[in-house]
Chain A
Amino acid sequence: QKEVEQNSGPLSVPEGAIASLNCTYSDRGSQSFFWYRQYSGKSPELIMSIYSNGDKEDGRFTAQLNKASQYVSLLIRDSQPSDSATYLCAVNTGEDGGSQGNLIFGKGTKLSVKP
């Protein structure tokens, strides 16, 4: 059974702090990794994708991937109350990193940013 694990939280951080969200996955053959943000009552929206080991930065967001440790993380710098949401980690376990395969989602970490 291919699994994606996340701490359900809630993770509470003060405004302006760095929020660190973590995710582990079981399938060593996984090729691509995604972070989705889901506001309460809304649908998931993609905020970051990462395919290679190392860091990928996009504005206040940094995704980190370590395939050897089967670990992917999301850092949010200068956290804002508007960042309060549930963050879903998703892993594509397709044989070809470019194929659709199946996205397996973690259950999400709820982040709360306090003003």
Chain B
Amino acid sequence: DAGVIQSPRHEVTEMGQEVTLRCKPISGHDYLFWYRQTMMRGLELLIYFNNNVPIDDSGMPEDRFSAKMPNASFSTLKIQPSEPRDSAVYFCASSLDPSSYNEQFFGPGTRLTVL
């Protein structure tokens, strides 16, 4: 298995631009999670999906952030407009059904820099 795939691996953009991050979960995993990691705040859950349906988006910082999962093999996290404080590493993770006790497998991350 290829593991969780994220693209791009690095993104540099200017303030005000739209940014789209992409994720392909491990095949067969029903849960998909988006995290943001910074030195100041650590690893924070932004949103998670179960069977393509958003379950909890309380971690999404503000309306500039949106996430979609149109099918079981693809999800996007969009920031519009982007701001310098959005600079962070964004991780996507996936896991099996509840009986797996929440073992999450992380993708390599997207390092976002907003100038």
Contacts and interface: CB of A to CB of B under 8 A. Distances in A.
Interface stretch (A12-20, A58-66, A70-78, A105-113): A105-113
Contacts of A46: 103-105
Interface string B11-50: 0000000000000000000010100000001111100101
Interface residues of B, number: 24
A85 B99 CA distance: 29
A115 interface: no
Is the contact region of chain B dominated by helix, strand, or loop, or is it mixed? strand
Interface residues of A, number: 25
Contact of B45 (A43, A49, A102): A102
B108 A100 contact: no
Nearest to A6: B42
A102 B33 CA distance: 10
B98 A103 contact: no
Given A43-B106, A43-B108, A100 B98 contact: yes
Interface of A: 32, 34, 42-46, 49, 51, 88, 92, 94, 96-108
Interface of B: 31, 33, 41-45, 48, 50, 55-56, 91, 95, 98-99, 101-109
21 contacts: A34-B103, A43-B91, A43-B108, A43-B109, A44-B43, A44-B91, A44-B106, A46-B104, A46-B105, A51-B101, A88-B43, A92-B102, A94-B102, A98-B98, A98-B99, A102-B48, A102-B56, A103-B33, A105-B42, A105-B44, A108-B42
